[in-house]
Amino acid sequence: MSKKCTCGFKGTPLHEDIYDCVEYQEIQDGKKEGQWMIDWMKKSKKSQKKSKKQSGFKAWNED
């Protein structure tokens, strides 16, 4: 996935996608580089745990 850089970074290396811009913004905000990905994974795992309800025939059959 490649989207045009919108963060306004002028320097090297060039930002070629949105992820470069996010990491640049994290550094500007005083966060650890790559923290957005760690946070995203934690939220994703939490969401998966909540959605483990059975559905379809198996859920109907156990009633």
Q: What is the pTM (predicted TM-score) of this model?
A: 0.54
Q: What is the mean pLDDT of the chain?
A: 78
pLDDT at 52 over 60: yes
Q: What is the dihedral of CA 14, 25, 5, 18, to 10 degrees?
A: 100
pLDDT on residue 48? 75
Amino acid 62: pLDDT: 60
Quick one: pLDDT at residue 9? 76
- Which residues neighbour 4 within 8 Å (Cβ) at sequence distance 6 or greater? none
- The answer, yes or no, to whether residue 19 has pLDDT greater than 80, is yes
The pLDDT of residue 49 is above 70: yes
